[in-house]
Amino acid sequence: MSENQKKIWITGASSGIGKAVAEKFANEGWKVAVSARRKELLDDLAKHNNISSFPLDVTNRSQINNVFNDILNACGDIDICLFSSGTYEPKDEQSLDPDKIKNVINVNFLGVIDCVKVVEDYFKNKKSGHISIVSSIAGYRGLPNSSGYGPSKAALTNFSESIYFDFKKFGVRVSVVSPGFIKTPLTDKNEFPMPFLKTPEYAADKIYNGLVKGNAFEIHFPKGLTLILKFLRILPYRLYLFLVDKLVKR
């Protein structure tokens, strides 16, 4: 490993967007530490010379701390942390199931908070670096059949906005990633048409460019979809709820 080689830690890297981003960074010459619960998938990914596997359950705080220390020992330094762990069961969200909603919140939101907490002192003491959190356009406003996933992503976006100010004082960049519909094992569970559906590789290119070549707080794509939803986000409730209700009935 070159002393000048840049390094990134990616959670949720066993499939979907996380995996594609890991491969993109590795192919661009970065040293990539990948984490997720499914060790066998990580080990397969780690066949790439620039990728190393560090299995992790983000709902286990002590494990996060141990894994991050292992990564620092192996890599010596980390430039970017991309926290993209997530879970989604659309059929479970069609009715209010508190236990299943709590599980989604634990993985999608609280797991990310614990990851950020573990790396907080490292980046603040270093006075540089970048923490990026993968949210979703599902967090822009309340959507039908999204009683756990949407709120978890809305919380992530709000959390990212909140910590932006604190980390900026220490020279640490915070950003949020808001993908539209990307073809992954999670979106494969959807039973409705997904407009502007894109590949994980498309998402990886957008995220890489946003993290490495851009400086915007939010990396959102595809613009054809995200700009429509950003417009819907500023509508008054009466109009927004009316339009979404009409779309659902169609």
Which CATH number covers residue 38? Answer: 3.40.50.720
Residue 31 lies in a domain: yes
Specify the DSSP class assigned to residue 53. Answer: E
Q: Residue 112's Cα: distance from chain center in Å? A: 9
The pLDDT of residue 94 is above 80: no
Residue 2 belongs to some domain of the structure: no
The two counts, helices (H) then strands (E), for the chain are 9, 7
153 located within any domain: yes
- Domains of the chain: total: 1
Which has the closest alpha carbon to 88: 99, 104, 102? 104
pLDDT tens digits, 17-60: 999 999 999 999 999 999 999 999 999 999 999 999 999 999 99
* Tens digits of residue pLDDT in 3-22: 689 999 999 999 999 999 99
Domain with 127, as residue range(s), is 7-249
Residue 141 belongs to a domain: yes
Is residue 157 in some structural domain? yes
d(CA 193, CA 45): 30
Average pLDDT, the chain: 93
Note whether residue 11 is domain-resident: yes
Residue 79 included in any domain? yes
1 lies in a domain? no
